[in-house]
Structure 1
Amino acid sequence: MYLLLLTIIYMAFISLGLPDSLLGSAWPVMYEELNVSMSYAGIITMIISGGTIVTSLLSGRLTRKLGTGLVTALSVMLTAVALFGFSVSNSFILLCLWAIPYGIGAGAVDAALNNYVALHYSSRHMSWLHCFWGVGVTISPFIMSYSLKGGYGWNRGYGFVFIIQIILTVILFISLPLWKDKKTLANSQKDQEKVLSLPQILKIPGVKIVLITFLAYCGLEATTGLWASSYLVEFRGIDAETAARFSSLFYMGITLGRFLSGFIADRFGDKILIRYGIIIIIFGVVFLGLPTENTMVSLIGLIIIGFGCAPVYPSIIHSTPANFGSNNSQSIIGVEMASAYIGTTFMPPLFGLIADKINIGLYPIYLIIFAILILIMSEILNKIVSNQKN
């Protein structure tokens, strides 16, 4: 039962990743067909992230009432419905409307699953599970590239991913009895016993710092993923179909990095993985921004950035019970997810405005600012936690 449930959780993480990279890989084609500005991608991501913020903040109460399994199944179903909506939409307004269930579904499942894994599984499994999220986000751009090159259009690309997502939804509903295993349920109820209000959470030492860290990290990751294709097309002169395929290299770097870091996570610990991951991100951004005619250098830079991102997110989440207490973890992880999605909401569209009004070539500079901020905040958090324990 343990292994079967773990397999289901791995599949759930794939479903988390599937929708995340579709908009960025398709947008160079979408905005021209929809006759809107290139920066309008930020509006859609803001609506999606707004929904995730709300449900992330409510995740502690939702999970306590419904259980992790049902929250996961319902949330994946909502994202599947949203993907179907995208596949049949032909206007920007309709995309904005379908972005609402998209965001609501994503927020609840993210917080619930991450807390469940942080409590019940080792750092190794957290890395590998997020590797499977990377599998989802890596597959999607290839599906979209296939759809664009085959002449099916971006709508059909969303439709293909919808089919995969609805199959995963059915599997999750069938698996619900596994989540109700008595031992697992007892542990889960015990760990989720304490539901804190937002003011109570913010008073805990170090929480504000970790929220800034999450905001900065997700701002960096979301901006990299959303604007990679557009940067390659508009600044590096690569055609849209090729750029859609190459943008997946960033997510491929995340996926490979999380697979490899799973082998060393338990040995080195969360703090070391976070520190060196950020340093690798900075190195990758430098590669991405090198003023050279050789586009291969930029592509290598995207892979390096993804590789550096790999351990950061899962390690910060996995360290939450250790940093702040397992009884507080569901509430704190919910707020961490909300802060992360604030970064996802506002940072990519902010860069969209910079790209529109100034130059999309500022993309690497924008990314490196966030990378340095993450490094500073994570080191401050380490000192606060160390002082609390001493």
Structure 2
Amino acid sequence: MTIRQKTAGKAAIALSFIAFISLGMPDGLLGVAWPGIRDTFSLPLDALGLLLLFSTAGYMASSFFSGFLVRRYGIGGLLGLSCSLTAAALMIYFLSPLWYLLLPAVFLGGVGAGAIDAGINTYVEKHYSERMMQWLHASFGVGVTLGPLVMTAGIALTGQWRPGYLIVSLAQFALAIVFFTSLHSWQKDEPADQAREHREKDAAIGETLRQLRALLSMLMFFIYTGVELGLGLWSYSLLTISRGVRPEIAGLVTGSYWAMFTVGRILAGWYTRKMSVRTILYSSIGLALAGTVLVALNPGIWLTIAGIGIIGFAIAPVFPSLISDTGNRVGIRHVSNTIGMQISAAGFGAAVVPSLAGVLARIYGLEVIPLYMMAALALLFLSILISRGHKA
């Protein structure tokens, strides 16, 4: 490998990390901004679900066609286009006088996010090590940690939620320019002969759908991603509306949830080498359940904050651990089909689980949310137990 190739490779992985930071920042904005958006447009509490559904539709559409898009535009060009779309969507948030204009905006943002997510994951998986993949997902946590902090600062300084979207929109536009001007940094895709030979023995999609473990895998990702995003979205509303916590403190707590999530992902790069996947999954979910008990009992603000941080730290390694354990659950012939099904289920869960939390909160009050998340985590634990006990 030449010096130029090595330099380009380092630049590409740095750009990949930056791309995932940019992917996380918009996700972190909404949870803090939502009470203000509700007040501005006089919306019911569960209207958040409509935004999540539109976002998920855009995300799933672009991620499904990401292979074609990468071949058509290259990974650098795709990142530039995706960041441009996300920046435009956030600018609509800043400017929109009407609630219904936010729906196409959030769809547009979902399209940009889905292309970034699928494109970068594919690129890093092909060209870099598993540890680098762990760092990549930790960088998403950096972005989703910064999002609430930016929004909280904007609200504290101006009393409005819109400036936070303006700041991140301008940052996304700047990143788009960086990606467009660094197209030479990305390695060209090469045929993966070994992977192709391996996939020749893959099962048909219909056969995979008849496997209970494959269906349970979809359920796991549906629940997990919904819980991860749901806690990040609803913690701010729970603390400010239901428990009277000052907005600036609640914003910091929401940021700390994602910060602990990021720390958990970073540390996972080391301790996953010394622990089995089963041990990681059971201990992570068990610790997350303990955190939700603390939040539900509400023994005091500081213990509640500790509970939220514990949940973020605990669940961090669950997603990559479930991905890496796919072959053990379903068998090698079903891996390719199952991974695609899992990612689709994750996107669907990210919309449905937090949306249902909003419906329940409107009916029973916001204090139902930690109980709901506790039940979801228990169901996730049970589905893993059943999956490991059932013969494919």
- What TM-score does the superposition give when structure 2 sets the normalisation length? 0.87
Is the contact made by 2:85 and 2:109 (CA closer than 8 Å) also made in structure 1? yes
Q: Which of 72, 83, 94 does residue 87 from structure 1 map onto?
A: 94
Structure 1 unaligned spans of 5+: none
Deviations 1:82-115 (A, max 9, x none): 1121121132111112111111222233233334
SS at match of 1:180: coil
Distance in structure 2 (CA, Å) of the matches to 1:261 and 1:49 = 27
| AA in 2 matched with 1:187 | A
The aligned counterpart of 2:383 is: 377
The worse-fitting range, judged by mean Cα deviation, of 248-257 and 64-73 is 64-73
| Corresponding residue SS for 1:142 | helix
- Measure how far apart 1:274 and its partner are: 2.6
Deviation, 1:143, is 0.6
**Contact 1:141–1:244 (CA<8 Å) still a contact in 2?**
yes
* Equivalent in the alignment of 2:161: 154
- 1:268 alignment partner, SS class: coil
Deviation, 1:205, is 6.5
Structure 2 counterpart of 1:157, which letter?
G
> Aligned match of 2:257 in 243, 250, 258?
250
1:51 to 31, 35, 58: 58
Residue 238 of structure 1 aligns to a residue whose secondary structure is coil
The Cα offsets for residues 224-276 of structure 1, whole Å up to 9 and x where unpaired, read as 11111110012211133332222112111101111111122233354433332
Unaligned runs of 5+ in 2: 1-5
Contact conserved, 1:118 with 1:317, CA < 8 A, in 2? no
1:42-66, CA deviations, whole angstroms, 9 ceiling, x for partnerless residues? 2111111122223333345545655
Equivalent residue for 1:142? 149
Q: 1:11 matched to which residue of 2?
A: 18
Cα distance in 2 for partners of 1:361, 1:108 equals: 36
Give, as a single letter, the amino acid of the residue that structure 1 aligns with 2:307.
G
Which residue of structure 1 aligns with residue 344 of structure 2? 338
Among 62, 82, 86, the residue aligned to 1:75: 82
The alpha-carbon deviation at position 218 of structure 1 amounts to 1.1
Matched residues in 1 for 2:240 and 2:327: separation? 43
Alignment partners' CA distance in 2, 1:370 and 1:72: 34
Q: CA deviation at 1:313?
A: 1.5
1:101 and 2:103 equivalent? no
Distance 2:23 2:101 in 1: 22
Name 1:355's counterpart in structure 2: 361
CA contact (8 A) 2:45 2:359 kept: no
**2:190 pairs with 185, 189, 202, which one?**
185
Following superposition, the deviation at residue 164 of structure 1 comes to: 1.7
Aligned partners of 1:238 and 1:301: how far apart in 2? Answer: 15
Separation in 2 of the partners of 1:213 and 1:109? 23
CA separation of 1:58/1:331 partners in 2, compared to 1, >3 Å: closer, same or farther? farther
Are residue 172 (structure 1) and residue 179 (structure 2) matched?
Answer: yes
Q: CA deviation at 1:320?
A: 4.4
Q: Which of the numbers 260, 276, 280 marks the counterpart of 2:267? A: 260
Paired residue secondary structure (2:319): helix
Q: How does 1:264-283 map to 2 (within 5 A)?
A: 264-283=271-290
Return the alpha-carbon distance in structure 2 between the equivalents of residues 53 and 68 of structure 1: 18
Residues 124 and 266, structure 1, Cα contact 8 Å, conserved in 2:
no
Q: What CA RMSD, in Å, does the superposition of the two structures yield over aligned residues?
A: 2.9
Give the TM-score normalised by the residue count of structure 1. Answer: 0.88
Aligned residues: 383
One-letter amino acid of the counterpart of residue 295, structure 1:
I
Describe the shift of the 1:87–1:125 C-alpha distance in structure 2 as closer, same or farther (beyond 3 A).
same
What letter is aligned with 1:238?
Answer: V
Q: 1:298 maps to what in 2?
A: 304
The corresponding residue for 1:234 is: 241
Change (3 A) 1:312 1:115: farther
- Does the Cα contact within 8 Å between 1:253 and 1:304 map onto a contact in 2? yes
Aligned to 1:129: 136
Q: Deviations over 1:14-70 (max 9, x none)?
A: 111111111111111221122212221221111111222233333455456555444
Alpha-carbon distance in 1 for matches of 2:272, 2:331: 20
What is the DSSP-based 3-state SS (H/G/I as helix, E as strand, rest coil) of the residue aligned with 2:367?
Answer: helix
Whether contact under 8 Å (2:298, 2:304) holds in the other structure is no
Structure 2 residue corresponding to 1:210, chosen from 201, 214, 217: 217
Report the residue type matching 1:222 in the other structure. L
